[in-house]
């Protein structure tokens, strides 16, 4: 058994920039263990990931707010608190907040992530 405590006193949430558009905060729930990483991710309005894929898939559970998820071969889908999203291994996708709301989700990533280009305005409905 492994117990992972919340963020240590004085530590800040990570604010990645290279693979995201806008302000995003990531708090680890479970550091990468046996190829699985679990993070609580907060997207400010308009913030989103770049296009990316996960080696063995990814599950997202929306805990607050509203956002969008999209794949290269489909129209973006609006998601809200309580929704669960599964992306298959290797499926290229993105996710983020609407222009008007925050989005918070629990991301369960299986295997390595491979990030690509930013999601352009043509693919982001806002």
Task: Report which of residues 32 and 116 the model is more confident about.
Answer: 116
**Exposure b/e, 12-28, CB count within 10 A at least 16 = b:** eeeeeeeebbeebbbeb
Catalogue all structural domains in the chain, each as residue range(s) with its CATH number.
24-115 (2.60.120.10)
For residue 13, is pLDDT > 90? no
Block residue for tokens 């008007």 = 100
Q: What is the pLDDT of residue 29?
A: 87
Q: What is the pLDDT of residue 15?
A: 73
**Model confidence band, residue 117 (pLDDT cutoffs 50, 70, 90):** very high
Task: Report which of residues 59 and 16 the model is more confident about.
Answer: 59
The model's pLDDT over 75-102, given as tens digits with 9 standing for 90+, comes to: 999 999 999 999 999 999 999 999 999 9
What letter does residue 120 receive in the DSSP assignment?
P
For residue 6, is pLDDT > 70? no
Rounded CA-CA distance 72/19 in Å is 17
């Amino acid at each position: 058994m492994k117990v992972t405590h919340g963020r240590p006193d004085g530590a800040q949430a990570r604010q990645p920039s290279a693979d995201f558009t806008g302000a995003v905060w990531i708090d680890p729930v479970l550091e990468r263990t046996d190829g699985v990483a679990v993070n609580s991710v907060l997207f400010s309005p308009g913030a989103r990931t770049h296009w990316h894929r996960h080696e063995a898939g990814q599950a997202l559970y929306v805990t607050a707010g509203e956002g969008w998820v999209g794949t290269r071969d489909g129209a973006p889908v609006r998601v809200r608190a309580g929704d669960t999203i599964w992306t298959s291994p290797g499926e290229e996708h993105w996710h983020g907040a609407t222009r008007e709301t925050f989005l918070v989700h629990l991301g369960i990533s299986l295997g390595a992530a491979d990030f690509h280009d930013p999601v352009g305005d043509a693919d982001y409905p806002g």
